[in-house]
Amino acid sequence: MRLKDKVAVITGAGSGIGEASAKLFAKEGAKVVVAGRTAAKCARTADEIKSLGGTAISRTCNTARREDVNAAVAETIKILGAVDILVNNAAIGPTPKVLTAISEEEYDQVLAVNLKGTFLCCKAVVPHMQEKKYGKIINISSLAAIAPLATEAHYSAAKAGQLGLTIDLAFELAPFNICVNAILPGITDTDALNGVIPPGVNKYDFLSEQVKGVVPFQRLGTPRDVAGVALFLASDLSSFVTGDRIIVAGGSPLQPVKFD
């Protein structure tokens, strides 16, 4: 088991990439904290892990709120004794809009969850990891960070900000044996894609058409595709990897994907 006895906090773990990562980490021996804004989804993920013999606890946590984050981390350390791995996956996937259609309130909300949330979670776990001289921080960014979607200025800005934070922390925390890396998923089959589906159109027919000529593998990415890379970065197989970004996009070229 690659993560035997490690404690992993995964945000946004009630569904999608976070859920897939939580289940895979638990299968590899980790004790998993399933954190997210929706209590029922987090509890379901944790219960499924426990039904398969894994160790998991669920915690309701809005990563944009410092109080929620600090409480979740403190409780994790109290119950499980450590935080070895942090996966910053919680995010808002807004409906594509041109700049002039994005309100200030919506812009603030997207950056609060997608970027400030990553900052707050890192800030909460880093002192503990520094004391232990060990840690793995994995930020789930997006291909949109380097190939913007052209109609999601707030989302692309937040995801690009995660890359800057990743590189800065990688330099700062390397002396403490803490690895900080980012994953950039491409078009991935998660609930976040629902906002781009036109009314009355089959989701998979629509998305399959979008990936033609864009994704060499000619399919959508899956949460499990991303979780596998997260497992590599969470394990000691990546003990000399930090400040890096790994694109998980089926070979997608670095050009905007426009949803028609």
Q: Look at residue 258 and tell me if it is in a domain.
A: no
Model confidence, pTM:
0.94
Confidence at residue 46, expressed as pLDDT on a 0 to 100 scale:
98
Q: Look at residue 1 and tell me if it is in a domain.
A: no
Q: Look at residue 171 and tell me if it is in a domain.
A: yes
Confidence at residue 258, expressed as pLDDT on a 0 to 100 scale:
59
Which CATH number does the domain housing residue 74 bear?
A: 3.40.50.720
CB–CB of 72/9 below 8 Å? Answer: yes
DSSP-derived secondary structure for 119-176: HHHHHHHHHHHHHHT-EEEEEE--GGGTS--SSBHHHHHHHHHHHHHHHHHHHHHGGG
Q: Look at residue 255 and tell me if it is in a domain.
A: no
Question: Beta strands of 154-244 (E only): which ranges?
Answer: 178-185
Q: Look at residue 149 and tell me if it is in a domain.
A: yes
**Average pLDDT along the chain, 260 residues, taken 10 residues at a time:** 97 97 98 97 98 97 97 97 98 89 96 97 98 98 89 94 98 98 93 73 76 83 97 98 97 66
Confidence at residue 195, expressed as pLDDT on a 0 to 100 scale:
66
Confidence at residue 212, expressed as pLDDT on a 0 to 100 scale:
74
Q: Look at residue 260 and tell me if it is in a domain.
A: no
Confidence at residue 256, expressed as pLDDT on a 0 to 100 scale:
55
Tell me if residue 107 is catalytic: no
Q: Look at residue 211 and tell me if it is in a domain.
A: yes
Q: Give 75-116 pLDDT, tens digit per residue.
A: 999 999 999 999 999 999 888 889 999 999 999 999 999 999
Q: Look at residue 213 and tell me if it is in a domain.
A: yes
Catalytic choice (107, 134, 155, 204): 155
Query: Residue 201's domain spans which residues?
Result: 7-247
Count of domains forming the chain: 1
Confidence at residue 124, expressed as pLDDT on a 0 to 100 scale:
98
